[in-house]
Amino acid sequence: MGKTSTLVEATRELVRLGERTGEPVGIIILTNTLDQIPILIREMKLEDHQYAVRVGKNNAELNAMGVGENVGRHQDAQVLFTTQQKLMALTSKGLNLRTMKGLTFRNKPRPVRIWDEAIMPADAIVLSADDIDRLKSPLAKAGYKAQRDAIEEFVAKMKVRQADTQITVPDLHLPDPEENSALYDDKDEGIAISLMRMAEARAHIRHDRSVGAVALHYVEILPRDFPPLLILDASGSLRLSYSMWREGRGNLERLPSPSKTYKNLTIRHWDHAAGKTANVRNRVRAELADGVAEAVAEADPNQPILIIVRKPSKPYQNMENEIRSAVAQRFVGEKRAPPELHFLTWGRHVATNAYANVRHVIVVGLFQYPTSVAAAMARGSAGLGPGEYLSEIAIDDFHKSEIAHHVFQAVGRGAVRKAIGGDVPEGCRLDVVFSTRGNGASVPIGRDILRKAFPKAQILDWHPLPIVLSSNELALVKELRKIAASPLGGKAPYKELARAVGIAAVNIWKTLERPHVRLELAKAGIAISQRQGRPMWVSRIAQPHARPKARRSSPSGEGKVKLPNGLRCARVRKSGTPKR
């Protein structure tokens, strides 16, 4: 039985028990989205007098359900549905549970409190010095010189403040965005609201390579008197946030959860750039769309496919449209129609059961946070003070666990959410695209993310498109072929390679790390190895698909590079005998 079924059956039983004994127990269910509320009501088979809905004023249809909008009648409705965002808004006003009169049952806090889906104990607020500096221009134009000067002074302090220290954010007395909508554009409005939330608070300072000085802060999302709270998170075992919450805050306890394997899930991974930067490049988007179209062409035409993509930053960057166009082009001349395609964007990849029977899911790119945001979230999970230290390793581990959580949630919209004999239904398939290289702004992601999220699933290489090397990449592979042609292999100094192929010496190794270049070398049976401060060695592996023993890598991790098909590079001695 899944978490949603458990929630439905437990609520129904509590309602039946209350009506039978005449002593009902008040229940509050906090959902992640508005869409979940009518679905839960329908599955629980609640009668109108048994429940109430309390959400934003703009959702009159939802508020009219059950006993209706009359707050007085809410007091007699045993089950109250609201959103997590509604609770956070009330908490931000300084209210505690006892003073949230609209959420009580017979004028007392509802003792059964259920949070459906994932939760973070704190809401992260992250502002870079450059973000804050943006406000100077609109404020100056509107005549707010004092505020403009105060921002300039604070930004200057941020930039010179040492990393892993704290800074007090002043109350800048900014014009309220709600009352001065013409003053700010959309981004500036968000920055102004965040600054107002941070006013007179102490923030943690970090320096990111990509954005410079950043102020990190968080605010609690739950009232202090809200526990006990039951959290229903299907990916809870993947997330380090709960471990950090338990160790740092001390008020969280994990409950036993049944294990599940994914032996019936086949995963194909295409090691290709598919993140935010890749999605703004026309050529890369076209490649991704063509690759997905190939996966669609190989699929069972009678089985629907769910595809997870990024929400477009601009209309012309719409990946759903590009994939649909590529699929239509791929099926020109075919005597069959493509499978039915469904799409979800990251951010809408949770809390829907609409695709629970779809066995084939395609994920294009991963849901990642900027490093500074991940750092703020990790600090909030652990309840760290602004002056307390958290290592970059801990932040990276936290971030990877959140990435695994989001992949699990996205794929879990399909049939893998079901359990049959402790495993997923037969024939489940996941095609996923992401680069294992990372970049300066994000944490490198390996396939261990997939292994942790889907234990015992079969994970395969996937190359839907022909490998096309650039002229420089071709020249480099050709030169390495020459060196490897010797029975003993040979030394390949970076400067000599650079002169031979026209690539800067500092970019030789970066070029060799590209997945399509590594694959081409592996196909040719070429092994490379490199130790810090020494030339690269090149050798030929007699049987490219074998797994030759490799020498143990140094503690720093240098000296061994994993290649496709399980190849590992082995440094060759001058005597010609591979060092084992």
Structural domain boundaries in the chain: 3-116, 123-220, 265-378+387-461, 471-566
566: pLDDT strictly greater than 70? no
Res. 528: pLDDT tops 50 = yes
Q: Can 265-378+387-461 and 471-566 be said to share one CATH topology? A: no
What integer is the mean pLDDT of 287-299? 97
C-alpha separations of 477 from 230, 441, 469, 511, 516 in Å: 57, 29, 9, 10, 11
The confidence score (pLDDT) of residue 158 equals 97
Instruction: Specify the DSSP element, H or E, that contains 151.
Output: helix 145-160
Inform me whether the pLDDT recorded for 214 exceeds 90: yes
Percent of the residues in the chain that have a pLDDT greater than 90, as a whole number: 67
In 10 A of CB 164, how many CB atoms? 14
Q: Quick one: pLDDT at residue 487?
A: 66
Mean pLDDT of the 127-140 span: 96
pLDDT at residue 243, as a whole number: 97
Q: What is the pLDDT of residues 24-63, one digit of tens each?
A: 999 999 999 999 999 999 999 999 999 999 998 889 999 9
Judge: domain 265-378+387-461, CATH 3.40.50.300.
yes
241 vs 444 pLDDT, higher one = 241
| pLDDT at position 190 over 50 | yes
Are residues 245 and 252 in contact, defined by beta-carbon separation less than 8 angstroms? yes
Percentage of residues of the chain with pLDDT beyond 70: 90
State residue 510's pLDDT score: 79
DSSP state of 470: -
Q: What is the mean pLDDT of residues 184-205?
A: 96
Give the range among 191-195, 392-396, 497-501, 572-576 with minimum mean pLDDT.
Answer: 572-576
**pLDDT at residue 281, rounded to an integer:** 87
Q: Which residues of 42-79 are buried (b: 16+ CB within 10 A; e: fewer)?
A: ebbebeeebbbbbbeeeeeebbebbbebeeeebbebbb
pLDDT class for 572, splitting at 50, 70, 90? very low
Q: Inform me whether the pLDDT recorded for 212 exceeds 60.
A: yes
What is the pLDDT averaged over residues 221-229? 93
In Å, what is the CA distance from 132 to each residue of 204, 208, 375, 520?
15, 15, 19, 47
190 neighbors 119 (Cβ within 8 angstroms): no
- pLDDT at residue 570 is higher than 60: no
Q: Coil, strand, or helix at residue 207?
A: strand
In whole angstroms, give the CA distance from residue 53 to residue 68. Answer: 8
- The number of beta carbons lying within 10 Å of the beta carbon of residue 185 is 11
Res 275 pLDDT > 80: yes
Closest Cα partner for 359 from 338, 340, 337, 346? 340
Average pLDDT over residues 293-301: 96
Residue 36's nearest CA partner among 55, 49, 18 is: 55
Residue 543's pLDDT band, with cuts at 50, 70 and 90, is very low
Which pLDDT band, with edges at 50, 70 and 90, does 198 fall under?
A: very high
Residue 479: Cβ within 10 Å count: 17
pLDDT bin (cut points 50, 70, 90) of residue 85 is very high
The region of weakest confidence among 218-222, 316-320, 523-527 is 523-527
**Partners of residue 124 on adjacent β-strands:** 218
DSSP state of 233: -
pLDDT score for 485:
78
Task: Kindly report the average pLDDT of the chain as a whole number.
Answer: 88
pLDDT at 557 over 50: no
Q: How far apart are CA 366 and CA 269, in angstroms?
A: 12
Mention every residue, 6+ apart, whose C-beta is less than 8 A from residue 201: 168, 169, 217
Rounded Cα distance, 511 and 176, in Å? 50
Range with the largest mean pLDDT of 292-296, 489-493, 509-513: 292-296
**CATH architecture entry for 471-566:** Orthogonal Bundle (1.10)
Rounded Cα gap, residues 83 and 81, in angstroms: 7
Q: Cβ(148)–Cβ(195) under 8 Å? A: no
Q: Helices 282-298 & 319-330, crossing angle to 10 degrees?
A: 50
Coil, strand, or helix at residue 184?
coil
Within 299-411, where are the H helices?
Answer: 319-330, 371-382, 392-411
Kindly list the distances between the CA atom of residue 239 and the CA atoms of 246, 318, 381, in Å, as whole numbers in the listed order.
Answer: 12, 30, 11
Round to whole Å and give the CA distance between 417 and 439.
32
pLDDT attached to residue 270:
96
Residue 506 has pLDDT above 90, yes or no: no
Spell out the residues 6+ positions from residue 58 whose beta carbon is closer than 8 angstroms to its own: none
Is 416 a residue whose pLDDT tops 80? yes
| pLDDT of res. 547 | 41
